[in-house]
Each structure stands twice: as C-alpha cells, then as structure tokens.
C-alpha cells in the first residue's frame, strides 16, 4: 500500500518562477494557507513582490539565482510557460518541482503539444510541420485555409499569420521563418465559440474541473469571459472530460488550462494547453468555493483538492492599459457587487493586463447591457457574449 504524500508544512517557503499577476494571486491565496513565497523575476517591484513575496531580481536562467531558490524553498512552481525548461530541469534535481519540466516542454512547443494530444486521442485541428515554401503550398492545398504559427515563442497571438491564398505564401513564410523557429500550419477552424477548462490534479491522482468558461479575445488578448459557457450540457461535459483525459495522460500535478474551439456541430477541438493558473479562471476568485490559485497550491502541496462549486453565473472583464484611466474615473458607476482586482503595475500601456473585474449576476444578459452603458469596454466585444 502506498503512503499518502505528506502535505507541505505551514510556514514552508514556495519558490515562484515568474512574478506577474498570476504569481501575485498565488501569493495572496498561499498566505491564507500559511505559506511564504520567494519569487525569481527580472523586473523589479513585480506584482508578486507587491503581494509580499521576497524577490530575487535576476533572469530566470541565472545560475546563482536558481541555486538560491533551490536552497531557500521547499518546492518550486512556475506561473507561465515561457520559463526555460532546462532551468526547471536543473531545479528538479535539487528541489521538489511538482509540475515538472516535461509538461513545460510540451506546452512550449506547439508541434510537441499537438503530437502529445494526438497520442492521447484528443481532437486537434489537422496540422503539418512546415520547413519550406513548397511544403506550405502543399499544406494549403490539402488543408485549405491555414493558421500559421511559430512552433516556439509565440504567445498572445504573436507569431501567427492566417492565409487562404497561394499569393500570400511568400510573405507569410518569410515573416514567420525569419524568427528562426519552426512553423506549424494548422487548418483554420471556423469555430462557433472559444472555451476553456481549468483542471486540477494532485499526486494522489485526484482530479477536479472548474466550470467551462467562454472567452472572447481582441487582438489575441483575452478581453471577456462568461461562465458558464453557453453550451449544451452534453458539450460542457465533453469539454471537462477532455480536460480530465489530458490531465491524466500528462500525469498533471497542479492546474492546467485547456483552450478549445467549439464547432457548429458541438464537436470540440483542443487548441492550446497552459500548465498553470489561467486568465479565464479569474472568476473563481470570487465565485467558486475554491479559487484556481488555491487549487493549484493545494495540488502541489499534497492537500486534498477543494470544491469547484460555482455560486452564480459570472462575467470576468480584463482591465487593459487602455481601460484603466476611464475605469478609475467611473468607479462609482460599477455595480456594487463588482470585485475589482488591480495588479499594481507601475507602467500603464495599451494591451497590458493591469487588473480584472469579476461580476456575478442571476442574469448575465442584463449585467452585460449595463456594462455596455459604462463605455469602458468595446461594445462589439460585449455583444459577442449576449
Ligand atoms: P493561440 O495562440 O493558439 O491561442 O491562438 C490565439 C487565437 O487565434 C485563438 O484564441 C483563436 O482565436 C485564434 N486561432 C488560433 N488557432 C486557430 C485556428 N486553427 N483556427 C482559427 N482560429 C485560430
């Protein structure tokens, strides 16, 4: 009989690679659980430090900084997938890194990610690896309209080009290939909705999913999530089942966001994995028995997972740099139940995530109508959720 792994002791220090808003919200949740935090982050005064984590200000690959993290912490976790997998492997030899470096290697490389999903029998858009213009032209013939993506380094829509005609090939190829990473051509999916599921798994193999979120992006940055997603219960259950299959297949420890496209016939296609808390799960902070941050910490510290029960329909709006100044002037016009989260970032620029707003309502429709009147978020985007 195997012994249950020991829960991390109160007062223990958790190391964080990356000190942005996800790390900040992990710190806030973790303090309530009795843990200390040390963050490795090159930008001084990072949001995690603002929440009380001790900061090592150095690059994510600095050997001295990594050694200090390994020596000072009982376990280490990461808040985004662009940390160096080699650095995480190095840490794994010295300190407990429950998420591990393997899932990071998969999520960092779109080809590896897709091949892994195929191996796990998870539906993905048909794809091909591209190394020459000729291969691209063959892919366009066989797959039709394409979304071209760099295999590594792309996030928030960077490193992506959509093409439908042969004439677009030379420019698309040279734009993406010049970045010196491989390219993957994916069939363009005419989806009806984009959704995501956050799934958690601990070392005992306990698995739990949060409700399915429906997401709208602008310029590939998440703007608004509506929870639960407007889907048949059959499709919702299927989305959660896929997320659980992936969590089991990858032997996940921690939380993982699974982004999916919903096709007009209700079938689902998995687009991307993020092995960490996710922007589309911020509603859980105010609307679920356990937040995604608390759940991640429970999973990596060998605590039983918490309930993911949701109390009311929710809307989450990202507050980007372009929204913040007006929002601060209109605070009194926000619905009284609104929960405002600001990350304390000093520099406010367009497209930068400065905070988010969590709202709950029995009728998301009337809530959205009121949000349109506020004039802070783009009306057309809000109407996509109506
Ligand atoms: P990604 O970086 O893969 O999450 O892509 C960013 C956004 O581009 C997604 O949220 C979709 O809106 C869109 N997108 C990505 N891949 C495809 C695809 N194969 N077909 C249609 N739209 C896509």
- Contact 157 CB / ligand 1 (< 6 Å): yes
CATH number of 13-97: 3.40.50.20
Classify 257 as helix, strand or coil: strand
- Contact 194 CB / ligand 1 (< 6 Å): yes
- C-alpha distances in angstroms, 234 versus 201, 230, 289? 23, 12, 24
For the beta carbon of residue 98, count every other beta carbon within 10 angstroms. 20
Domain ranges of the chain: 13-97, 126-187, 193-383
pLDDT value at position 98?
A: 97
For atom 10 of ligand 1, which residue has the closest CA?
220
Distance 305 CA to ligand 1 centre (A): 31
Distance 145 CA to ligand 1 centre (A): 13
For atom 1 of ligand 1, which residue has the closest CA?
157
Tell me which residues of the chain have a pLDDT lower than 50.
1
Find out whether 236 and 229 touch, Cβ atoms under 8 Å: yes
Distance 260 CA to ligand 1 centre (A): 9
For atom 6 of ligand 1, which residue has the closest CA?
157
Find out whether 147 and 183 touch, Cβ atoms under 8 Å: no
Tokens of 233: 């219960």
Predicted model pTM: 0.97
pLDDT value at position 181?
A: 77
Distance 140 CA to ligand 1 centre (A): 17
Q: How far apart are CA 228 and CA 315, in angstroms?
A: 9
Classify 20 as helix, strand or coil: coil
How do residues 273-297 score in pLDDT, each as one tens digit? Answer: 999 999 999 999 999 999 999 999 9
Probe residue for ligand 1, chosen from 130, 147, 176 as the CB with the greatest number of ligand atoms within 8 Å? 147
Distance 243 CA to ligand 1 centre (A): 18
Distance 268 CA to ligand 1 centre (A): 14
- Contact 147 CB / ligand 1 (< 6 Å): yes
Contacts of 176 (CB under 8 A, 6+ apart): 148, 149, 150, 159, 161, 183
- Contact 8 CB / ligand 1 (< 6 Å): no
For atom 4 of ligand 1, which residue has the closest CA?
272
pLDDT value at position 155?
A: 61
- Contact 81 CB / ligand 1 (< 6 Å): no
Distance 271 CA to ligand 1 centre (A): 7
Fold observed for domain 193-383? D-amino Acid Aminotransferase; Chain A, domain 1 (3.30.470)
Distance 96 CA to ligand 1 centre (A): 34
- Contact 271 CB / ligand 1 (< 6 Å): yes
For atom 7 of ligand 1, which residue has the closest CA?
220
- Contacts of 88-95 with CB under 8 Å at 24 or more apart are 88/17, 90/66, 91/66, 94/67, 94/70, 95/15, 95/69, 95/70
Distance 380 CA to ligand 1 centre (A): 19
Closest Cα partner for 52 from 78, 83, 13? 13
- Contact 125 CB / ligand 1 (< 6 Å): yes
CATH number of 126-187: 3.30.1490.20
Distance 220 CA to ligand 1 centre (A): 8
pLDDT value at position 1?
A: 45
Probe residue for ligand 1, chosen from 271, 274, 278, 381 as the CB with the greatest number of ligand atoms within 8 Å? 271
Q: Which atom of ligand 1 is nearest to the CA of 186?
A: 19
Q: How far apart are CA 58 and CA 65, in angstroms?
A: 7
């Amino acid at each position: 009989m195997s012994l249950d792994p020991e829960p991390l002791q109160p007062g223990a220090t958790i190391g964080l690679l990356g000190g942005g808003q996800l790390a900040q919200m992990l710190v806030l949740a973790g303090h309530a659980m009795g843990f200390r935090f040390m963050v490795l982050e090159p930008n001084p005064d990072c949001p995690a430090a603002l929440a009380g984590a001790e900061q090592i200000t150095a690059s994510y690959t600095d050997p001295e900084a990594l050694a200090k993290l390994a020596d000072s912490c009982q376990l280490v976790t990461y808040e985004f997938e662009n940390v160096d997998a080699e650095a995480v492997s190095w840490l794994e030899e010295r300190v407990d890194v429950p998420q591990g470096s393997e899932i990071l290697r998969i999520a960092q490389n779109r080809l590896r990610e897709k091949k892994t999903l195929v191996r796990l029998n998870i539906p993905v858009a048909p794809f091909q690896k591209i190394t020459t213009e000729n291969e691209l032209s063959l892919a366009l013939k066989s797959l039709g309209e394409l979304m071209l993506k760099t295999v590594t380094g792309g996030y928030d829509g960077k490193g992506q080009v959509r093409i439908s005609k042969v004439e677009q090939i030379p420019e698309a190829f040279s734009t993406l290939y010049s970045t010196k990473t491989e390219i993957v051509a994916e069939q363009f999916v005419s989806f009806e909705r984009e959704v995501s599921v956050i799934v958690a798994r601990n070392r005992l193999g306990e698995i739990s999913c949060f409700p399915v979120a429906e997401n709208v992006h602008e310029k590939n940055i998440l703007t608004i999530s509506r929870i639960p997603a407007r889907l048949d219960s059959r499709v919702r259950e299927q989305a959660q089942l896929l997320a659980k299959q992936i969590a089991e297949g990858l032997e996940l420890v921690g939380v993982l966001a699974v982004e999916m496209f919903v096709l007009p016939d209700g079938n689902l296609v998995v687009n991307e994995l993020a092995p960490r808390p996710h922007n589309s799960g911020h509603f859980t902070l105010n609307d679920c028995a356990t937040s995604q941050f608390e759940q991640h910490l429970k999973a990596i510290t060998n605590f039983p997972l918490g309930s993911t029960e949701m109390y009311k329909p929710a809307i989450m709006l990202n507050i980007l740099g372009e929204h913040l100044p007006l929002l601060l002037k209109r605070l009194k016009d926000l619905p009284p139940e609104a929960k405002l989260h600001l990350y304390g970032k000093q520099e406010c620029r367009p497209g930068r995530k400065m905070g988010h707003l969590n709202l709950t309502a029995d009728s998301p429709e009337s809530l959205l109508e009121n949000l349109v009147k506020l004039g802070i978020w783009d009306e057309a985007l809000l109407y996509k959720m109506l």
